[in-house]
Structure 1
């Protein structure tokens, strides 16, 4: 007698984005994404500070039980209970949207000739479904070139541009895609139209499309020449800085982080750093200090123009001090580098006063104690010495930088 086998299709919303198994204890992060408790706890306990699905830096690692989803999963499990004597069910994923080679060719032809939004939408649905689909399209001859061509064509329909960056954003991690895009766009005569399309999306697209367009832009900045070409676009730089300056509740933190990341990426030469500084990037970062802001400030502080700009804005140093020990270890080290540059190299007295008033000395001492011998500890020692004169009212005069404890004031 043939045994009966039951296949159950599992709704995607019931699967953990990490394990891909049905969630036993669904919990949500502050980003709104829900995971199985054991999977996300393992991720966070491994030292990660980002949401695995969005890669957004987490301002809080608190997890909240998703009771509604938990009840729905339990009801679904109860409704799927097997009758006595049946085999254990085999769980299958939801049906994948299918695209054959012939269908893919037809879609590509429509996209290439008409910038067809409908065809782009179908391709976007296909590649967003699973990694296997993304690998399929990347291997498909001419696919990357056709989608990238939407951004370099005369097509000005915002929906088509948004679909194109969404597709490219999904396949960026596939082997060779970034290099192909770099060659197609920034090492050809299509550079100007590509950058214009990015500017257009940043000015008129949805917040999600803006994030994706910046990520695509960041991905093609693979070498110094590409970074220079991007930084030479004054319109693009102006729009990026404007997005940072106007970042508020209407813009997600992921957009802020994406913009700051591309500015970090292109800040490889003194001329590029000077361009950003002249456009007021230091003042902008001072008003919204994040971990990536600290990284960008540390990069800018490596040149004299950057140190001067930071020194002329005591609010900047105060914002850096306020973040120390409240951010990741790497970001704290970036903060120390910024303070060392302006207090020890620039020797700006007003900045020293701002650091002291913000309880910066105590924080620097704590950082110095937890560090082994190395660059960060050296900078902390230099900072303690440089700040002595500004600490007349603090009992720091007899402090020796090689001691292993902190004396209470």
Structure 2
């Protein structure tokens, strides 16, 4: 069966009424009609104040994610993808047997012990790593088999410790090493991963250089994701986090990863952000992140309307971390677009994103009373959103921070909000 024989019927309620495409991020207006987030945002940004389907005048331009519909679309999309892959995927390369993998490991160990490295031996090493990759991708059981083979993981980590060996240190070779390690370590326990992380840290200079090289020059998404995940895994404690951040080019390359990667490679961006979050806690690292322009980078990401929930949550988490430093707060408060972007994500993404966003706003507006930040929140219709948030099913911590923020804006506001009682259960009309 080919593509022409596979007819896929799209349920009508999965399509956006504006673009007629399957919705990626369905959101509902106050009229109850659901649209794709990017389509309805463009409609509202163009100055319209009506619902495109019903032409009713909108009482509010706020919209909320339709989680139920999003889950249904995801289930349907996954089933379609499986049907397409089962009918159209070309025959895959034969997966090597366990015995063949054992032979490949033995050959690789013999080549590693050899003092003379030539072009044929280096090609053989690449071939062996390719067999490991093919074997590991086949199943979780295969990955566990590789992970339990004596000496394999330490040998692979040793390959990252290449120093200035230009032949062994080819990017292609390092990419395969990183991909195999990523697959194998994913199925190890946290305790085992920490032991292996310490093994990387013992050879910190060369290993970190190899991972940075893959981040910079890696040709595949898998290798760059693997490099970011290995760096994150290595950040086991405060000392390790500082060592990683102090390594030349680590932070700049991670920032490039999350800004220059095409949107379709969302996994690369999300793992780059996860790595930055993992190393961001020490005070020295927060200052380095700010120096390298992390706030400007995150401000751009948060202002885009088509980013995934995972990406937005991690952007806000990283902003929350840097907002706990004087330098980070100053950068956030100076960037009106950043404050507006944070305010715009309240109630629109997820409960996790809302908590991160409110914590940042509470820090800069209430705790440190920054006037510029307060003005930016007001311009972004922050009062209304804070009131809506207090009526929602938010956590006790978010509710308390929202009440604190409301006190600030009640003092500054000349509207009827002056008489608003935070204990009431309704929203004052405007």
Q: Does 1:99 align with 2:121?
A: no
Q: Equivalent residue for 2:146? A: 137
* CA contact 1:311–1:351 (8 Å) conserved in 2: yes
Rounded to whole Å, the distance in 2 between the matches of 1:269 and 1:74 is 51
Higher helix share: 2
Q: Equivalent residue for 1:382? A: 404
* CA contact 1:127–1:137 (8 Å) conserved in 2: yes
Rounded to whole Å, the distance in 1 between the matches of 2:85 and 2:148 is 39
Of residues 390, 396, 417, the one that matches 1:396 is 417
Of residues 383, 388, 401, the one that matches 1:361 is 383
Deviation at 1:299, TM superposition (A): 1.0
Of the structure 1 ranges 63-72 and 206-215, higher mean CA displacement relative to structure 2 is found in: 63-72
Deviation at 1:177, TM superposition (A): 4.1
Matched position secondary structure for 1:169: helix
Rounded to whole Å, the distance in 2 between the matches of 1:377 and 1:304 is 25
Rounded to whole Å, the distance in 2 between the matches of 1:286 and 1:238 is 16
Rounded to whole Å, the distance in 2 between the matches of 1:292 and 1:68 is 27
Alpha-carbon deviations, 1:298-344, whole Å to 9, x = none? 11111222211111111110010111111110111000001111101
Deviation at 1:111, TM superposition (A): 6.3
Deviation at 1:246, TM superposition (A): 2.8
Q: Equivalent residue for 2:427? A: 406
Q: Does 1:210 align with 2:224?
A: yes
Rounded to whole Å, the distance in 1 between the matches of 2:265 and 2:110 is 34
What are the ranges of 5 or more consecutive residues in structure 2 without an aligned counterpart?
1-7, 15-69, 114-120, 303-311
Rounded to whole Å, the distance in 2 between the matches of 1:275 and 1:167 is 31
Of residues 314, 318, 337, the one that matches 1:315 is 337
Q: Equivalent residue for 2:17? A: none
Of the structure 1 ranges 214-223 and 168-177, higher mean CA displacement relative to structure 2 is found in: 168-177
Matched position secondary structure for 2:182: helix
Rounded to whole Å, the distance in 1 between the matches of 2:328 and 2:228 is 24
* CA contact 1:111–1:119 (8 Å) conserved in 2: no
Deviation at 1:95, TM superposition (A): 7.9
Deviation at 1:73, TM superposition (A): 6.3
Q: Does 1:278 align with 2:291?
A: yes
Deviation at 1:181, TM superposition (A): 2.2
Matched position secondary structure for 2:418: coil
Rounded to whole Å, the distance in 2 between the matches of 1:71 and 1:374 is 46
Of residues 224, 243, 246, the one that matches 2:257 is 243
Q: Per the alignment, do residues 69 and 311 of structure 1 end up closer, same or farther by CA in structure 2, a change over 3 Å counting?
A: closer
Rounded to whole Å, the distance in 1 between the matches of 2:110 and 2:9 is 42
What are the ranges of 5 or more consecutive residues in structure 1 without an aligned counterpart?
1-24, 30-59, 76-93
- 1:4-403 equivalent positions in 2, closer than 5 A: 61=71, 62-63=73-74, 64=76, 70=83, 97-100=96-99, 102-109=102-109, 112-113=112-113, 116-153=125-162, 154=165, 155-173=168-186, 174-175=188-189, 176-186=191-201, 188=202, 190-208=203-221, 209-249=223-263, 252-289=265-302, 290-371=312-393, 374-392=396-414, 394-403=415-424
Deviation at 1:105, TM superposition (A): 3.7
* CA contact 1:108–1:143 (8 Å) conserved in 2: no
Rounded to whole Å, the distance in 2 between the matches of 1:253 and 1:373 is 29
Q: How many residues align?
A: 333
Alpha-carbon deviations, 1:145-203, whole Å to 9, x = none? 111112112322111111111111112232354123212111x1x21111111111111
Q: Per the alignment, do residues 146 and 323 of structure 1 end up closer, same or farther by CA in structure 2, a change over 3 Å counting?
A: same
RMSD: 2.9
Alpha-carbon deviations, 1:35-61, whole Å to 9, x = none? xxxxxxxxxxxxxxxxxxxxxxxxx65
Deviation at 1:385, TM superposition (A): 1.2
* CA contact 1:207–1:255 (8 Å) conserved in 2: no
Of the structure 1 ranges 177-186 and 314-323, higher mean CA displacement relative to structure 2 is found in: 177-186
Deviation at 1:346, TM superposition (A): 2.2
Deviation at 1:295, TM superposition (A): 0.5
TM-score (norm 1): 0.74
* CA contact 2:322–2:328 (8 Å) conserved in 1: yes
* CA contact 2:241–2:282 (8 Å) conserved in 1: no
Deviation at 1:124, TM superposition (A): 1.0
Deviation at 1:71, TM superposition (A): 8.1
Q: Per the alignment, do residues 319 and 107 of structure 1 end up closer, same or farther by CA in structure 2, a change over 3 Å counting?
A: farther
Alpha-carbon deviations, 1:337-363, whole Å to 9, x = none? 011111012212222121122122222
